């Protein structure tokens, strides 16, 4: 958001002290996002928060404005620590924060899927409230650390993962259920000539499959709904011109990426 020099920005700050990354956002009195900050956690949530707050302040000051903080809220793994040390006005469980923000910005939401650093959470919504909830934390193949590690191997920042993966028109079919097997597949697919973009796209498709495979039988419906939800939004947000072209011997999926075991 562009600010007027000399203006006073009155708003609230929210910090998500996650297991692998920390996020902060400044929201004005009208509920609009003024600025935000993100960084990988360094093992000290207090220091991480100080650095995030410094980034927000620097953004405001760089435009010649002044910040007037009306409140501070915390969520995530480090919420309790931040509440005590930063004297947070509110400590909200992250699933509740997801629910409130999704309803606030998108209205009638059916499914919310949070791919975290240590686990995957899926919330089923009904009439603006949580109707059901599923959690999967049984394997590192089913959380954001997998994507983080793979992005690092390709020399990418995790924030560049989605844009890079959406450039692929072909995606290899990875095994699922174990991160060790996934890395073995990655090496083999690289030998077969799959590009970085194609490998990242294939790995991203593993997560909803892993959730359904490692949870109880009733959770298969959760995984299916989450997958349909993700695909629908991928089509809306990530479709690239020419991604629908057909290639001989391949099969087109709903998300604009084709699945192939051998390319």
Closest among 140, 111, 261 to 207, alpha carbons compared: 140
- Which tokens hold the place of 183? 């890395």
Mean pLDDT of 56-65: 93
Phi, psi torsion values for 84, nearest 5 degrees: -75, -45
Over residues 65-118, the pLDDT tens digits come to 999 999 999 999 899 999 999 889 999 988 888 888 888 888 888 988 887 777
Q: How far is CA 167 from each of CA 10, 136, 156, 198, rounded to the nearest angstrom?
A: 40, 29, 14, 8
- Model pTM? 0.64
DSSP alpha helices (H): ranges in the chain?
A: 45-62, 79-85, 94-106, 144-153, 161-165, 179-191, 196-204, 206-214, 219-238
What tens digit of pLDDT does each residue of 8-52 get?
A: 999 999 999 987 889 999 999 988 999 999 988 888 999 999 999
Q: What percent of the chain has pLDDT over 70?
A: 73
Beta bridge partners of 135: 121
What's the CA gap between 133 and 159, in Å, rounded? 27
DSSP state letter for 134: E
């Amino acid at each position: 958001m562009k600010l007027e020099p000399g203006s006073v920005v009155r708003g609230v700050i929210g910090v998500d002290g996650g297991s692998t990354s920390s996020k902060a956002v400044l929201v004005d009195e009208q509920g609009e996002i003024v600025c935000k900050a993100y960084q990988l956690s360094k093992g000290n949530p207090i220091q991480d928060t100080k650095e995030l707050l410094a980034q927000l302040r620097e953004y405001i000051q760089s435009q010649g404005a002044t910040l007037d903080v009306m409140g501070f809220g915390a969520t995530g793994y480090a919420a309790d620590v931040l509440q005590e040390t930063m004297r947070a006005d509110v400590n909200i469980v992250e699933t509740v924060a997801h629910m409130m923000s999704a309803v606030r910005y998108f209205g009638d939401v059916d499914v919310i899927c949070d791919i975290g650093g240590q686990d995957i959470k899926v919330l089923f919504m009904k009439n603006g409230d949580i109707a059901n909830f599923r959690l999967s934390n049984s394997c590192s193949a089913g959380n954001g650390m997998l994507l983080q590690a793979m992005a690092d191997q390709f020399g990418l920042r995790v924030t560049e993962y989605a844009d890079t993966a959406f450039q692929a028109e072909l995606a290899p079919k990875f095994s699922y259920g174990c991160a060790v097997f996934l890395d073995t597949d990655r090496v083999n697919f690289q030998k077969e000539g799959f590009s970085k973009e194609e490998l990242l796209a294939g790995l991203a498709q593993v997560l909803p499959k892993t959730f359904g495979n490692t949870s109880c039988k009733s959770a298969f419906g959760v995984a299916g709904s989450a997958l349909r939800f993700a695909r629908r939004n991928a089509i809306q947000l990530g479709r690239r011109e020419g991604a629908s072209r057909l290639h001989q011997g391949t099969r087109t999926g709903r998300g604009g990426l084709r699945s192939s075991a051998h390319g």
